[in-house]
Chain A
């Protein structure tokens, strides 16, 4: 009996709201709610099973980016290491060329962007240095040392 009563209530409410359901957004206006009646979220309506919006799992599909497979990270790490050595030896053009090889393998590696940004600073190309620092920040995990270093590089260039 209780179930029948609640279902009937639900039907009644829905039919009352049909005429007010939906509202076309005026062309130049921001989105407008379709009616003055507060539209409850789905989980408020069903008496028996509150609906929890089910979020799909975090997107780590097996064929996708963003994380490059570990082995290509080895390739990238090897090239980053070579680029760093060239940088230390003041061979900045060489460091850029090597870092670009790494970029072609994994364009989401913040380490690669850091090497590029630092090398371009030495080559007095602040515009490119800034762009690479910015990209590195975008792909680095917030709060990590790498992110902080990239942010420092960017901020120093912005001054």
Chain B
């Protein structure tokens, strides 16, 4: 055998051998690819598993802090009108019904415009101190106050605390907003409808459902529109929670893997709970509405527990496309979608025939679309944030879901906003001026709680907060503190003490003479102290202040609550000092509260997201001036409004309502101020221009008018007329400051320290006529 034949016998037959080799090679390549793919998928899955667990087990969302108003507390005698009460109920989302059957409903029966009886069923709320359960009661409002408060059996109730209004929030930078809902808080109808529409086999699949995809394709083709999605709820959650909404294969693969992993690690309950809080359901301006809890408030102004079948259907329908089915923008489309969902609810026996027909025929029932603003009262919330920043980091405020209970009274805030808007527009028109600005601070007298705050003539504009940050000369608003310094020396001064209003000339440190003039450029000789204040005489005030010393007056101003710098020069006596409205309010509150200083505050309590108390801001008092001297000062400030620079007020107020206050006008009328109070409310108003240019407005023609517009609408009580221990009234001769009697000319009935009354009497000229003075009308 030759070598050639040996070699030829050793070779495989050429055709069959190469075929097998190719297939084996392909097989190996295929196996290799599978292994590599599996390896890649395995590593990727490990990574995705970490992502899934980290985010799901950690804090899932940055929760904004929620800011609440003060709760309205009803009791017999509370000053309140039907209009104001109904505004409060409307803001809380209460629905007026013929009869009250569930929480958040009210019925109304009016005997007249002034006498109205309401039956209310509250919602209940978790307050700082305890939970208030839902409660049914009847309240009758008559003659501007709560006339009766009773339970359903007719038993008198001492007190009812309504739930507070949510007025805004402090949001994370991405401005996602949600109200967290636990699964057991989700109404069963809502949960079942959601599953029926979006993922019927949620409880059976493992995150991805090929059958659901095929079924959806079949159903949608049969219906001719998309009525069913192919993605499971788990996939939707993964898409919103971890990924993006971009439709692509590269997103679908991790979505599928992550869905499987989510189902592997967590229960159906946990996944569903995350879903109902994550799902995107709309937008309000720049704020995203996420989750059914917030969506219920946003669209219906009520909690989830109060939704009816058609409202549930509307919300579930929005899952498919919140913008496309926006009920305010596309009401017909939204209604059609809602009715499709109602059809599913009916076919799944979640609602019966009657409910189905009724729900289909009903209107959308939306609440009024709110303005696209994150915060209702930006000036006030700005103050809240500043006060909170002393105790909390910015991140805590934006992400930890704190619940902040504040002092704002929405009723008062709304009245203040209305007064400001109307009056400023009227002043601009009347005086033909532009760019007028305004700020206002309103507090309750005694507690120092801020009830309303306005920082701009457009109260919703979150720009410069003039109430806190605009420091302007206060002018004559300083004068009461000069007179308080005097009255705090009762051995020397009382309201009848004569002070000279002659021209005054003071040499400054630079050798120049300062010669302040009265507003009318006249001198008025000797006048009783109270009248010098009531008429806001500059000369008398400066003379008095120099007698007392500037240092002593500065000490009074500090004791009243001013923390800023005070240049102790004579011009300080008539208000050559820059202050913000809130600083002025702090000082005047001490006067209104009869000498008791309380730091003004905007927050009552802070709770964490779980409702656990974190911090309280208690009411603190400090008696800085004697009750006697402040009572006397209050009398003089009442004289301002009765016979002094503010007397126009009683053109539109009942004479029987004692009010007190002080006007303030600076040089060239660049600033118009008024600080005034009743027995219950203090309000400080500034009107002027941001560029500090002249205006035609005095304190009386400008700020006082805004103040009066508010106080005219605000149910309130008058200034206390009962003298404290150690003070009694007596007749004083205004010409001499000596004792007098009722029938004598020039006699004034003034409150005086018992131990320091004048000992001598003035001569008496019997007066003719029987004109009754303002204090006599009050006491009558």
Contact = CB atoms under 8 A, between A and B. Distances in A.
Interface in B725-780: 725, 729, 731, 735-744, 749, 758, 760-766, 775-776, 778-780
Contacts of B491: 30
A103 interface: yes
A39 interface: yes
B656 A62 contact: yes
A31 to B, nearest CB: 6
B596 A135 contact: yes
B565 to A, nearest CB: 27
- Name the residue among B75, B741, B762, B766 with the largest chain A CB count within 10 angstroms: B75
Contacts of A42: 740-741, 743-744, 761, 764, 766
Given A25-B497, A103-B619, A69 B77 contact: yes
B780 A56 contact: yes
B741 A41 contact: yes
B75 A75 contact: yes
B779 A61 contact: yes
B75 A105 contact: yes
Interface string A129-159: 0011011001000100000000000000000
B778 A61 contact: yes
B741 A97 contact: no
A57 B656 contact: no
B623 A135 contact: yes
A72 B76 contact: yes
Given A30-B492, A39-B763, A72 B78 contact: yes
A46 B763 CA distance: 12
Contacts, number: 171
Interface string B614-628: 001011111100010
A96 B658 CA distance: 32
A72 B75 contact: yes
Interface residues of A, number: 62
Nearest to B74: A75
A54 interface: yes
B124 interface: no
Interface residues of B, number: 73
Contact of B721 (A61, A94, A107): A61
Interface in B399-447: 444-447
A130 to B, nearest CB: 10
A1 interface: no
A51 B743 contact: yes
B547 interface: yes
A64 interface: yes
A64 B658 contact: yes
B749 A22 contact: no
A77 interface: yes
Interface in A85-106: 93-94, 96-98, 100-101, 103-105
Contacts of A46: 766
B407 to A, nearest CB: 10
B656 A63 contact: yes
B98 to A, nearest CB: 29
A65 B720 contact: yes
- Name the residue among A27, A56, A142 with the largest chain B CB count within 10 angstroms: A56
Contacts of A25: 497-498, 737
Contact of B761 (A39, A57, A59, A71): A39
Contact of B158 (A77, A103, A142): A77
Interface of B: 73, 75-78, 128-129, 146, 156, 158-159, 444-447, 449, 491-492, 497-498, 500, 526, 543, 547, 596, 605, 616, 618-623, 627, 656-658, 679, 717-725, 729, 731, 735-744, 749, 758, 760-766, 775-776, 778-780
